[in-house]
Structure 1
């Protein structure tokens, strides 16, 4: 059955896992050619729904089963009265098996099939049936030129299964990739459609299970799960006689000279996300601003780590790093936090100091690196992290025995036990300073209210991304503090304070 937009399955698979599911369907009695027909029908239906006034189709076909899907879509379009051409970038004589049968069916239906050339023109809707999920290594010629021509056409594009050139496992563009407006994918959702470069090339996602027997999917290994409104961890409702002492005391540490705003954003986020009590330890000169902006928080002007010791005995969760700096003041406060036996969230400069080996991370913490910070923590380049974001998230979680948020398009949450969650919501307007500070405070507040580290982090990342999506609708110029009231509203929608 078709699924569109957010009505998608939660389970995400690698390309190899989906090939295994495909093989299971065939072994259970559904021929590969029948599955190809089902994929073509699903693509055709999605295409017509998306562009109901269209009547012309250009299919760009490669040389594998992805091309077979394309030839069969061409047949359906021809039968539907559309003007159809197939531009064959791969030699049809090299097609084998089901793809060859699909080509033969297109020939028998008198579909116009032409060899692709640099002079080929594109009309109507363009169907990308070039490369599929089996691509290994960067796109080579002539396919790189074909992809460039598709992207330069300015026409609407629908991709069969995955935009050609996008890695199904990592979401990395392999040299170049088709920029699709619609991607119709089958049997199992691929992780690479939801993280990394995917946001730039996938467009709207439509999924069809090709009538797979649900029993074949039960117990099948998966790579990750999508975070959706329907599967989020939830905070418990509060009883009528609740009091602040039941919902934790978050201490936020940071705000060196010139960086005071970061810790104030984190503190405000923690307060508005339901922490029972909020304290912050910052440079003494930032205390007046803290009291003016957040009078509900208890502000400590800490000139040295010694002044933290009494407070560390009274709180339940630490958030360390926003605006911390990497000087002597920040290092001393971070060292004190690292020795406290408390749940902790480390962000920003706490992670940079951790990467330098100046301090050890307590076990069971949450760390929230962006790709550059993740690269420093792993001793890699940022490009290497982005080339395989899932692997980087798992490596960080294993190295530091921590729950990890690898931020960015398609944020990943990795747990030391091997679980991986993906949050693909968000908005381009979120490319602004301070949003990570808001996320760190939110994670701290959910930990303080009794959630375990993985659940708290998953819920926080989803709330943060969807708040950004709501506020991003107003356009560029989004300020980090704009997210805080939207997070509060979303949290109440997802987990009402009182039922």
Structure 2
């Protein structure tokens, strides 16, 4: 049985400001790398990436503060200067009290100016008339910012955002909160961000994706042991395999998924979930449904095994259907998908409670199943049971009765509930967030809000549940569901301009 869990490479660790500062401090103090050397490595790494991709640019405008973020920009400018790219450096609030390493790099930059192509301005007002430049570099405030951007810095950022020129951020766009992704008063809109020593968590929350542009990770000599406290990671295809293992010789050895879904008026959810799961190559998909809805499935799901419960007048699940449903579930090994379109009848809530209390199969709870779970005073999760919850933001808020005013709060709630309840949570939205039992969380770096559209959540649930049936771990199953969905979305959008219907992913 496949039980692969996620294990992100260090290039995909998401660092908070506090962790970044701790790693930097330990590397300098314990590994005896001085700050000047780290600054040199960062600026050189960024300059090499720039020279590889932006050879057509010839003169940069460097907006600098007084701290080490400005020092990174000055190293960057020095390497570009040696490659014939002119520089105008503006110290927004003067250069009289620069940090030690930034002052040293300014002196070095001036020494390397053999052709007199460097201009240095001591304040923002003197620099504003400058027009002869074709790109901008942000070396203003970095990750140490802990209050709103004000004064000349805010003025410079607003001016910069009006320029129709490529803008490059050193480590992080000034004004973007490195933890939450929120804008701190105002923020620079970068086309390209060079992130030093680790990606920042805020790049992928709230306004982060809109402000960072293309992101390049610039490796620094930080020991891996200093990153062990990292709990959030970036999810993408570069390190998560989405290939499905070969199936077994017999259909029931090739993954069996039981689906409890559908009710009068909501049969479409069951149909899409079942078709989505079947498309992943399972040996069998078995739909348990109220007997009154069976004729619909007989016509629309010829490849799916149907197991009706109740009588012909039953069009939604009732408490008395639980015993028969549990007998069916016990027939074969596999996993269970519970919830798409089951409705919100009071008797259905009791039915869900009975199923969850007794069932021991790996179980994905989605849609109306989540709503029913939220009606219970206590989650009826047996000890050691393996659950995956797939809520959109509204369902998550109803489940936990907590504030979800931002992506950062959503991330915190997912981490807390995953750990407390020992469940895996795939929180749909932008970004998609996978919360695990360890606790570790994984964030997507692309727009997953598509999965919150009506019907697409059922398709996603079917795929994730299928991977559970194939024996993948809960976190791996969620990751494969998100990434395989992305691949199919990318493929669709290469050929069509309109947003696809859910059936295009089945």
Deviations 1:259-311 (A, max 9, x none): 33222211111111233221234465654443333211133555233335323
Q: Tell me which of 270, 273, 287 is aligned to 1:263.
A: 270
Partner of 2:191: 181
Shift of 1:184: 0.8
> Are 2:420 and 1:399 equivalent residues in the alignment?
yes
Partner of 1:253: 260
Q: Tell me which of 113, 118, 128 is aligned to 2:138.
A: 128
> Are 2:362 and 1:350 equivalent residues in the alignment?
no
Shift of 1:361: 4.7
Contact kept in structure 1, 2:94 and 2:122, CA below 8 Å: no
Structure 1 residues 319 and 361, CA gap change in structure 2 (3 angstroms) = farther
Partner of 1:457: 478
TM-score, length-normalised on structure 1? 0.84
Contact kept in structure 2, 1:138 and 1:175, CA below 8 Å: yes
Q: Distance in 1 between matches of 2:374 and 2:186?
A: 32
Structure 1 residues 443 and 189, CA gap change in structure 2 (3 angstroms) = same
Shift of 1:330: 4.1
1:19-98 map, 5 Å: 19-27=21-29, 28-98=31-101
Partner of 1:15: 17
Partner of 2:411: 390
Q: Tell me which of 321, 345, 348 is aligned to 1:327.
A: 345
1:235-314 map, 5 Å: 237-238=245-246, 242-282=249-289, 286-300=293-307, 303=314, 304-305=317-318, 306-314=320-328
TM-score, length-normalised on structure 2? 0.83
Structure 1 residues 140 and 262, CA gap change in structure 2 (3 angstroms) = farther
Q: Tell me which of 350, 370, 376 is aligned to 2:398.
A: 376
Instruction: Tell me which structure has the larger Cα radius of gyration.
Output: 2
Q: Secondary structure at the match of 2:285?
A: strand
Contact kept in structure 1, 2:288 and 2:325, CA below 8 Å: no
Q: Secondary structure at the match of 1:383?
A: coil
Deviations 1:129-154 (A, max 9, x none): 22212222444444344333322222
Q: Distance in 1 between matches of 2:325 and 2:449?
A: 39
Shift of 1:366: 0.6
1:133-172 map, 5 Å: 133-172=143-182
Contact kept in structure 1, 2:451 and 2:460, CA below 8 Å: no
Contact kept in structure 2, 1:26 and 1:32, CA below 8 Å: yes
CA RMSD of aligned residues (A): 3.1
Q: Secondary structure at the match of 1:366?
A: strand
Q: Secondary structure at the match of 2:286?
A: strand
Contact kept in structure 1, 2:429 and 2:449, CA below 8 Å: no
Q: Tell me which of 471, 486, 491 is aligned to 1:470.
A: 491
Structure 1 residues 189 and 348, CA gap change in structure 2 (3 angstroms) = same
Which ranges of structure 2 fall in alignment gaps of 5 or more residues?
1-7
Which ranges of structure 1 fall in alignment gaps of 5 or more residues?
1-5, 485-499
Q: Secondary structure at the match of 2:216?
A: strand
Structure 1 residues 82 and 242, CA gap change in structure 2 (3 angstroms) = same
Shift of 1:338: 2.1
**Count of aligned pairs:** 474
Shift of 1:121: 6.1
